Structure 1
Amino acid sequence: MTDEFGLIEPDAVDGFGDEWEEIDVSDTEADRIARRRDREFDQFRKRIKDADQFKVEQSVFDDATFAAIYKLVQDGHIEAFGGPISTGKEANVYEALGDDDTDVAVKIYRINASNFRQMREYLEGDPRFRGIGNDKGKIVLAWVRKEYANLERAQKAGVRVPTPIAVERNVLVMELVGLVEDRARRLAEVNVENPQTAYEVVREYMRRLHSAGLVHGDLSEYNMIIHEGELVIIDLGQAVTVHHPNAGEFLDRDCRNVANFFSRQGLDVTGEELHEYVTDVEPDP
């Protein structure tokens, strides 16, 4: 792989490390639409249920999920659906046509099938979700909002992630990195011909995340992709703030995973050295 792995520049914004932002998990317009069940929504729901790419998923999409898609269509974030990109226990990702004929990814979390116990491990202790309780539906909705907020914060910090576009209930719309027929490859799937450069980009992104008050929490060669010469960090749903009680443990694990991968690529790196780099805050000039 001969890509340059170029770094992107952070936005000139204040407020990095603002771990106390509020994330609203109350009723959304989608919930209100589902309760109304007006004729237009019912027709839309029938068209979606009859679509080939959704037929196998009818059992896990409740009315409010269809209403969330309906709302995103009304708002212009989704113009048309394509086929599935990936399917998993907790979410399916679909290719879709977005605003200005751009390709977007639509990630739809299953309310009933998601592993909410594992989600709680990452939500509990995050000050943004204090008092979320044990309600399974609210936990999943909080997770989706959290992923959107984490993507926003990471992007502002100058970390290359899929651009978040919109979120409605359990549906997240974001930039599609690559295409279904030519998907971006995970770092684990490519021959990294310049591992030193790739490592320097990864460690800088980890440092920027930490400076922005976030720890990825599940970073490895399987959550980094290469597309058109860029290294992109993905799957930020579980990312926690640095004030999370398990943030230190999660960061240690991230550092070990990344260092182990690049050690296998021939670099002399350790998790301890990477941790020191990530947490070293440069003094103001």
Structure 2
Amino acid sequence: MSTDPADHPSSDFTLDWEVVDVPDGSRLTSYWDVEPLCRGPEPVPDWVVLDRGAVDTDLGVLKTGKEGDVSLLERSGKDGTVVLAAKRYRDQDHRSFRRGEEYAEGRRVRDSRVTRAIAKGSAFGRAAAAGQWASAEWDQLKRFWLLGVPVPYPVQIDGTEILMELVLDEDGAPAPRLARERPGHARLASYFDQLREAMRAMAEQGWVHGDLSPYNLLAAGDRLVVIDLPQAVDLVANPQGSEFLLRDCHHVCAWFAARGLDVDADALFAELIAAAW
């Protein structure tokens, strides 16, 4: 007979559990079900709901994009309630983002079976490709958050769904894309300074957004937030890295210049290239 105390639990041992009522159309939180690396970086912000019995309720689609849709998801538990942005990637048959291979140059897929399936366009390959794009954005969100780049805090990833901070405007509503805004000159200049610093922080680590435009920036009151990062490009590993950076510079500078700000895309590009090297 075993003498290990673990094989003979004390009669005083009790199991603490409770029944959670999950309404129709909702689900239990999966935060603690995913692997640790699939949860957001430390320190975890105070607003993140960590209750193991929290319930997630989908509140509907917030916006649609080229690679997926963003919905509002309410997570409610004993430690509070928060509304998150849930980005759900589509497979290749249902995406309008058709130039993924250019952005993916320089990335490596360790599993040759997955590589072949993606190349063949099989059902498994299409699902794997969607998972790769979700994973790529997750990695970039974590990386840039830790660098201090203004991106939404990444809460968790589960398959092709990323839950992240819902960025709000001054009135507490979901922040609009910069493209919709008509800021005054002072705020316009502040936005550009913030954007330049964000691009510089990425370039210093050898990264380029790759698809930067006023549609991939959120105007959160006085703060500018960078979003949509799955296609972020490695400046060194991707042979078109500098071209993507130059294009990003021209796209954003054209928008600011059209609103009266004196900016120079080529000067910005030169500054960022210098920071990268």
Asked if 2 retains the 8 angstrom alpha-carbon contact of 1:95 and 1:103, the reply is: yes
Partner of 2:84, secondary structure, is strand
Residues matched between the structures, number: 220
Which residue in the other structure is 1:251 paired with?
245
Residue identity in the other structure for 1:198: Y
Which residue in the other structure is 1:120 paired with?
101
Distance, in Å, in 2 between the alignment partners of 1:169 and 1:78 is 19
Asked if 2 retains the 8 angstrom alpha-carbon contact of 1:104 and 1:176, the reply is: yes
1:105 and 2:66 equivalent? no
Distance, in Å, in 1 between the alignment partners of 2:97 and 2:183 is 36
Deviations along 1:136-161, one digit per CA (max 9) or x if unpaired, are 22111100000000111111221111
1:83 and 2:60 equivalent? yes
Q: Following TM superposition, by how much is the alpha carbon of 1:282 offset from its aligned partner in structure 2, in angstroms?
A: 9.1
Identity %: 32
Which residue in the other structure is 2:173 paired with?
182
Asked if 2 retains the 8 angstrom alpha-carbon contact of 1:186 and 1:221, the reply is: yes
Distance, in Å, in 1 between the alignment partners of 2:55 and 2:239 is 38
Q: Following TM superposition, by how much is the alpha carbon of 1:162 offset from its aligned partner in structure 2, in angstroms?
A: 0.8
Residue identity in the other structure for 1:191: R
Partner of 1:172, secondary structure, is strand
Residue identity in the other structure for 2:94: A
Scaled by the length of structure 2, what TM-score is found?
0.70
Asked if 2 retains the 8 angstrom alpha-carbon contact of 1:114 and 1:140, the reply is: no
For 2:211, which of 218, 224, 247 is the aligned residue? Answer: 218
Which residue in the other structure is 2:155 paired with?
165
Which residue in the other structure is 2:202 paired with?
209
Q: Following TM superposition, by how much is the alpha carbon of 1:233 offset from its aligned partner in structure 2, in angstroms?
A: 0.6
Asked if 2 retains the 8 angstrom alpha-carbon contact of 1:187 and 1:226, the reply is: yes
Partner of 2:152, secondary structure, is coil
Asked if 2 retains the 8 angstrom alpha-carbon contact of 1:107 and 1:172, the reply is: yes
Q: Following TM superposition, by how much is the alpha carbon of 1:128 offset from its aligned partner in structure 2, in angstroms?
A: 6.5
Asked if 1 retains the 8 angstrom alpha-carbon contact of 2:29 and 2:55, the reply is: no
Partner of 1:96, secondary structure, is strand
The 1:98/1:79 distance shift into structure 2, 3 A limit, reads same
The 1:117/1:265 distance shift into structure 2, 3 A limit, reads closer
Partner of 1:219, secondary structure, is coil
The 1:185/1:89 distance shift into structure 2, 3 A limit, reads closer
Which residue in the other structure is 1:155 paired with?
145
Which residue in the other structure is 2:190 paired with?
197
Asked if 1 retains the 8 angstrom alpha-carbon contact of 2:212 and 2:248, the reply is: yes
Distance, in Å, in 2 between the alignment partners of 1:176 and 1:238 is 21
Asked if 1 retains the 8 angstrom alpha-carbon contact of 2:168 and 2:220, the reply is: yes
Distance, in Å, in 1 between the alignment partners of 2:241 and 2:261 is 26
Residue identity in the other structure for 1:114: R
Which residue in the other structure is 1:66 paired with?
none
Q: Following TM superposition, by how much is the alpha carbon of 1:279 offset from its aligned partner in structure 2, in angstroms?
A: 2.2
Deviations along 1:153-173, one digit per CA (max 9) or x if unpaired, are 111221111111111111111
Larger-Rg structure = 2
Deviations along 1:221-266, one digit per CA (max 9) or x if unpaired, are 1111111321101111111222222211110100111111121122
RMSD: 2.9
1:145 and 2:135 equivalent? yes
Asked if 1 retains the 8 angstrom alpha-carbon contact of 2:106 and 2:234, the reply is: no
Residue identity in the other structure for 1:209: M
Deviations along 1:69-109, one digit per CA (max 9) or x if unpaired, are 87726745862221221234532211112363121111111
Residue identity in the other structure for 2:227: I
The structure with more helix, counted as a fraction of residues: 1
Unaligned runs of 5+ in 2: 1-21, 34-51, 119-124
Distance, in Å, in 2 between the alignment partners of 1:210 and 1:144 is 22
